Amino acid sequence: MSNSKKIGFLVTGLLMIAGFVAWIYQYKEGLVLTNMRNSYSWGLYVSGLAFFVGNAAGGLVLSSLIYLFGVKSLKPFAKIGALTAFANVTAAMISILPDIGQPIRLYHMLLHPNLNSPLVWDVIVLNLYAALSLIYLYILMLPDLKGPLAKIALKVDQPKEFSEKWAKRLAPFSLVAAMGIHVITAWIFATQGGRDWWNSAVLAPDFIAVAVASGTAVVFIVSLLTYGFKNEHQQAYRSMAIIIATAYFVHIFLMYNDFIIHYWYGAHEALETLSITFIDYGLAHAFEVLAPLAAVILLLNKKIRQSSGAMISSCILLILGVFAHRFLLMPAAFDKIQLSMNPLGLQHNYWSVPISSGQYDPFIDTFVTKWHYFPSAIEITIFLGVIAFMCFVVLFAMDRFPIAGEAEA
Amino acid sequence: MIRGMVIDLEKCIGCRSCVVACKQHNAQPAGNWWNRVFTPGSSRHLSPPEKGREYFLPVHCQHCRNAPCEKVCPVGATYKHDDGTVLVDFERCVGCRYCMAACPYGVRQFNWEDPKKAMKRYEYQNEYTYGHPKDYRLNGRLVYMQSRFKGVVEKCNFCVHYLDQGLDPACVRACPGKARHVGDLDDPDSNVSKMIRDKNGFNLLAEKGTEPTVFYLPPKRKEG
């Protein structure tokens, strides 16, 4: 095992342990250790769900491009796509576990699922997608399962043809399942008429756009780390850069399309959510737009695509921007009190009904209209643990299974 | 029968007796308030936003007919009783707080920590406890308990644990101005249906389509 691999295992291992310990501690003490409260009841963990679900799109992009649209240059990255999809969708599910107040009771999801709840749909589709990406990965690896791995190989006459045939057959299903995870995750939020910030028909298509950008960037990074810079991959780099750029511009269009129609009409509710995003969280919003923009401009430059380091940095910049975007799902939803009104008879007084925070403190108000949320150290530790888990899964699979094996185009 | 409530804002004097009675009877943990009363337009209760223009607004669970909280609950812990009351099964709730994100009224509250621990921290003396002491099960489901589990959501349960005894909710009984009324919304001749009809009963956030069963009667015009 190379030194960099050892360091990788060590760092991800330690972060996972730290995250797990933090979660146990939080489980014992309660979610009071987070900085969420009644008025701001979802934070980093749920943003994390959306973030990882988006990163899981890599499998969709690659398998559909390769096997449905015949983009051969991406073939060496197909297995990486399936693997990062699996790692990220699993991380998505793990990232909401610490958000659950009574995780041990989750078996009620099986015993008494409420089929009206988008959360139930999401759990179903995320599990389905995790299973599908594993199967996909297995099928793609099949011709290379040799030596000690031969015992887990399916006995077929011509593994190469078999693998090719089934990869092609599964591609449409994985495409649908992948669209499914983004659309349904978006519906968790978009169905909520009670939150103006989320209640938009554009949210689901936007989730797909963001996911295609960040999911491809994840595959891009892992591919470069695995194979290093290779001249014969130039065409693939170019394809991925174009996919990321297109997806990013579609995302910006969808997002600003929503902003502009609401801003133009100028209803109080809409202006308030926009002012939270553009003023209270102005810097974060600038970052979510400009960081990926910079990344896209860089990736589209031929010279940048000559350096593995420059491409990786650009992709990381893009993913950080997407993370900021996911974080910003919450502030404008929770810092705006839905129950706001002009008190009867007072035309110039727009007033919000405060919410009891759930925390008694003799020195601060229990009833609040804004909650200045920033994740607590426990939340950040747990979240880093989930990121580490995702990286660990990728590292581990790369180490044990023939994923980096160059498939012939 | 749909059990509904009418709150007559003309009669509400802003004393917050209902808030305290609710907190006490339902053993609400520190920092959680199922029922709140505000002075609309003002950041301080009882200080008028404009001279002589104050009125008071009690807000608690609106027991919506089209309740988003009930629809989003992944495990059916939040559910609707036959009489339209929206209840939380404390044993079923997994604590995902999706219902809190779904509720436009901000009336749902979470047990961020063990309520007993919080009581101790706030230095209540000699293990002092308050509230209806016995658990209450409705068709086997735990819809009231004095000492809540950590990590579950709670909210107004329309004092379902007093229903058997033929008692009105604590807030109704506590109101000195008789501003609160409970009755059958399905019966056009019930006291509440008549009041809603005769006195222009309205809902909070009617535009959200939640169809609350809690109605408000507007206060009369104030003399400047």
- What domains lie within chain B, and their CATH numbers? 3-217 (3.30.70.20)
Question: What is the least distance, in Å, from the CA of A269 to any CA of chain B?
Answer: 12
Residue A358 lies in a domain: no
Instruction: Specify the higher pLDDT residue, A357 or A159.
Output: A357
With vertex at residue A131, the alpha carbon angle to CA A187 and CA A239, rounded to the nearest 5 degrees, is 75
> Using 50, 70 and 90 to split pLDDT, how confident is the model at A409?
very low
Three-state SS string across chain A, please? CCHHHHHHHHHHHHHHHHHHHHHHHHHHHCHHHCCCECCECCCHHHHHHHHHHHHCCHHHHHHHHHHCCCCHHHHHHHHHHHHHHHHHHHHHHHHHHHHCCCHHHHHHHHHCCCCCCHHHHHHHHHHHHHHHHHHHHHHHHHHHCCHHHHHHCCCCCCHHHHHHHHHHHHHHHHHHHHHHHHHHHHHHHHCCCCCCCCCCCCHHHHHHHHHHHHHHHHHHHHHHHHHCCCHHHHHHHHHHHHHHHHHHHHHHHHHHHHHHHHHHHCCHHHHHHHHHHHHHCHHHHHHHHHHHHHHHHHHCCCCHHHCHHHHHHHHHHHHHHHHHHHHCCCHHHHCCCCCEECCCCCCCCCEECCEECCCCCCCCCCEECCCCCCCCHHHHHHHHHHHHHHHHHHHHHHHHCCCCCCCCC
Reported ipTM: the value is: 0.93
Mean of pLDDT values over B155-182: 95
**pLDDT higher than 70, residue B33:** yes
User: pLDDT band for position B224 (50/70/90)?
Assistant: low
Inter-chain contact B106–A39, Cβ cutoff 8 Å? yes
Cα-based angle A393, A58, A402 (whole degrees, multiple of 5): 50
Nearest CA-CA partner of A36 in A45, A25, A27, A48: A45
pLDDT 10s digits, A15-29? 999 999 999 999 999
CA distance A47 to chain B (A): 13
Top-confidence residue, A295 or A365: A295
Structure tokens at B87: 């209840």
Residue-range definition of the domain harbouring residue A144: 3-341+371-400
The residue whose two tokens read 């926009």 is A274
Q: Which residue in B109, B152, B209 is closest to A38 by CB distance?
A: B109
What is the mean pLDDT of the segment spanning B100-109? 96
pLDDT in tens, B46-96: 899 988 888 999 999 999 999 999 999 999 999 999 999 999 999 999 999
Q: Give the gap in angstroms from C-alpha B87 to the nearest C-alpha of chain A.
A: 15
Q: Is residue A216 part of a domain?
A: yes
Lowest mean pLDDT among A102-111, A169-178, A286-295: A169-178
The pLDDT score that the predictor gives to residue A408 is 43
Q: What torsion do the CA atoms of A45, A51, A56, A57 make, to the nearest 10 degrees?
A: 150
Residue in A with minimal Cα distance to B114:
A30
Alpha carbon of residue B153 to chain centroid: 14
With a cut of 60, say whether residue A146 has pLDDT above it.
Answer: yes
Mutate to test the interface with B, among A116, A117, A368 (most CBs of B within 10 A): A117
Tell me which chain A residues have a C-beta less than 8 angstroms from the C-beta of B104: 193-195, 338-339
User: Which chain A residue is nearest to residue B28, measuring alpha carbons?
Assistant: A358
Residues of chain B neighbouring A343 (CB-CB closer than 8 A): 40-41, 49, 53, 55
Q: How many domains does chain A have?
A: 1
Rounded CA-CA distance A313/A321 in Å is: 12
Q: Can you give the pLDDT at residue A360?
A: 84
Cβ contacts of B102 on chain A, cutoff 8 Å: 192, 194
Judged against a pLDDT cut of 80, whether residue B129 lies above it is answered with yes
Asked if A351 lies within 8 A of B74 by C-beta distance, the reply is no
Asked whether residue A179 is domain-assigned, the answer is yes
Average pLDDT, chain A: 93
Interface probe with B: pick from A96, A340, A344, A368, most Cβ of B within 10 Å: A344
Type of residue at A315: C
Task: Report DSSP letters for B189-219, one per residue.
Answer: TSHHHHHHHHTT-B-TTGGGT---SEEEEPP
Which one of A26, A106, A107, A112 would you mutate to disrupt binding with B, by most B Cβ within 10 Å of its Cβ?
A112
Residue A355 forms part of a structural domain: no
Which of the four pLDDT bands, split at 50, 70 and 90, describes residue B223?
low
| A351 lies in some domain | no
Residue with tokens 């809690």: B214
pLDDT value at A66 more than 90:
no
Q: Note the pLDDT of residue A361.
A: 83
Q: Do A188 and B98 touch (CB under 8 A)?
A: yes
Determine, for residues B75 and A341 on separate chains, whether the beta-carbon distance falls below 8 Å.
Answer: no
DSSP designation for B117: H
Q: What is the pLDDT, as a whole number, of residue A332?
A: 95
pLDDT of residue A255: 97
Dihedral over alpha carbons B138, B139, B143, B144 (to 10 degrees): 50
CATH number of the domain where residue A183 is located: 1.20.1630.10
3-state class (DSSP) for residue B58: strand
Q: Is B27 left (phi over 0), alpha (psi -120 to 50) or beta?
A: left
Q: Is the pLDDT of residue A406 over 70?
A: no
Contacts of A29 in chain B (CB under 8 A): 113
**Per-residue confidence band for B222, with pLDDT thresholds at 50, 70 and 90:** low
Q: Is residue A361 part of a domain?
A: no
* For residues B178-186, average pLDDT: 97
Does A15 map to a domain? Answer: yes
Provide the percentage of residues in chain A whose pLDDT is more than 90: 75
- Return the residue of B nearest to A111 by Cα: B75
Place of tokens 């309205």: B202
The pLDDT-based confidence of A85 (bands split at 50, 70, 90) is very high
| Residue with the larger pLDDT of the pair A327 and A157 | A327
Chain B residues within an 8 Å CB radius of A99: 96-97
A55 domain-assigned: yes
Query: Does the structure show a pLDDT above 80 at A326?
Result: yes
Distance from CA of B187 to the nearest CA of A (A): 29
Which of A100, A344, A346 shows the shortest C-beta gap to B94?
A100
Residue in chain A lying closest to B218 (CA): A344
Of A102-111, A399-408, B14-23, which range is least confident?
A: A399-408
Nearest chain B Cα distance for residue A274, angstroms: 18
Angle between helices A234-265 and A268-275 (to 10 degrees): 140
Q: N- to C-terminal Cα distance for chain A?
A: 28
